[in-house]
Amino acid sequence: MSSSLPKVAVHKFSSCDGCQLALLNLGETLLQLSQMVEFTHFAEAGPVNPDAPVDIAFVEGSVSTPEDKERIKRVRGNSRILVTIGACATAGGVQALRNYVDSKQWVGAIYAKPEYVRLLDHSTPIAEHVKVDLELWGCPVNARQVTGALRALLFGVRPVEENDKVCLECKRRQAVCVMVAKGLPCMGPVTRTGCGALCPSFGRDCYACYGPAENPNTDALRRRFVGLGLEPQQAAQRFRFINGAAPAFRDAGSAKAETENG
């Protein structure tokens, strides 16, 4: 019973699994989607068939091991369209913090037999290894991003990308600016919206779950943080977090930036 529905795969690399939950938490909508597409490979939901050719592959997680490097190439070869979902896949994830240090030291500190742990020095985004057709940034991505992208792609439509900065979303929601009102080191001015300015609406500073926005002025923001009273090292560390390995944040979070005083 070969189905004529478009085939979709969901692959997991090094991640917390939270982005797949955008699909697994859909409830009724997941059942609807399964009538529009055939989930050929979606291990956590049941179907395991990682090497089947598919129309759309969603990839969560970063590349962390030599095996991952081989596996992502196979996934790319089997997939007409490859969509990365979440900070791990698009930016290397929070585990990319080890990219900044001598990660062998980290492994040795945790693992009694480090020689058995075949981990790459760096956790890297999928796009560093294969061509990616669409990136959905977020930590986690939200359901609307994933289902919106899927529906659009099924029509052959390129999904629209959110490029506004969180600040714009705060203004739309009439949320009080936490940087101005509370002096908090909010990453909103350089961060892409998608969460609906969640943290500022909770009275706290944004910590850049959705990654760098277009044309982020990270240097100016970092200096502003120092002006708010942060040590240069702390100010730089704000960029070195969930999406820390994204190129736009990497420089602002670097060791060199830590020594720049305002």
Partner 1 sequence: MADPPPRASAHGQGRTVQIDVPALARVEGEGALRLRIRDGEIEELALRIYEPPRLFEKALEGRSYEEVPDMVARICGICPVAYQISAVNALENAFGVEVDPWVQTMRRVLYCGEWIESHCLHIHLLAAPDYFGYESAIAMSREHPEVVRRGLRLQGLGNDLIRLLGGRSVHPVSVRVGGFHRAPETADVVAMRRRLQDALSDSEALVRWTAAIAVPSDRQNFVSVALRHDQEYPIHQGYIGADDGLAVGPEDFERQFSEHQLVHSTALASQYRGAGYLVGPLARLNLNRERLPAPLQGLIGEVGPSFPSSNMFNSMFVRAIEVHFAIAEANRLLEHYAPPRAPAVGVTPCASIGYGCSEAPRGLLWHRYRTDAQGRILAARIVPPTSQNQARIEEDLRLSLLSFGLEHSDEDLRLHCEKVIRNYDPCISCATHFLRLTTERL
Partner 2 sequence: MIVLRIIGIGSPSGDDQAGWLVARELQRMRLIERLPCRTSIIALDRPGVGLLQHLTGVDLLVLVDAMRSGAPPGTIHRIENLQCIEPDRSVSSHGMGVASALELGRALGALPPSVIVYAIECDSMMADSGPTGLVVAAASALAGTIARDLQQKFAVSACPGLAS
- Minimum distance between the CB of residue 155 and partner 1, rounded to whole angstroms? 23
CB 59 within 8 A of CB 14: no
On the CB side of 144, how many CA atoms lie within 13 Å of its CA? 6
Positions of E strands within the chain: 7-12, 38-42, 54-60, 79-85, 134-136
Of residues 186 through 225, those in contact with partner 1 by CB under 8 A are 195, 198-199, 201-204, 207, 209
Q: How far is CA 18 from CA 45, 67, 235, 254, 258, in A?
A: 14, 22, 28, 27, 31
Does a cis peptide bond (omega within 30 degrees of 0) precede residue 140?
Answer: yes
- Minimum distance between the CB of residue 161 and partner 2, rounded to whole angstroms? 9
Query: Which residue in the set 125, 140, 194, 253 belongs to the binding site for partner 1 (CB under 8 A)?
Result: 140
Out of partner 2, partner 1, none, what residue 151 binds, judged by CB under 5 to 8 A for its kind, is partner 2
Q: Which is nearer to partner 2, 29 or 233 (CB)?
A: 29
Region binding partner 2 by CB under 8 A among candidate stretches 25-33, 63-71, 82-90, 170-178: 25-33
Query: Chain centroid to CA 167: how far?
Result: 20
- Minimum distance between the CB of residue 252 and partner 1, rounded to whole angstroms? 17
Q: How far is CA 209 from CA 71, 133, 167, 262, in A?
A: 26, 21, 14, 25
CB 243 within 8 A of CB 208: yes
Query: Which residue in the set 6, 50, 108, 148 belongs to the binding site for partner 2 (CB under 8 A)?
Result: 148
Q: Which residues bind partner 1 (CB under 8 A)?
A: 12-22, 24-25, 27-28, 30-31, 34, 39, 42-48, 50-51, 64-65, 67-68, 70-71, 93-95, 97-98, 103, 106-107, 109-113, 116-119, 123, 139-140, 142, 195, 198-199, 201-204, 207, 209, 234, 237, 241-242
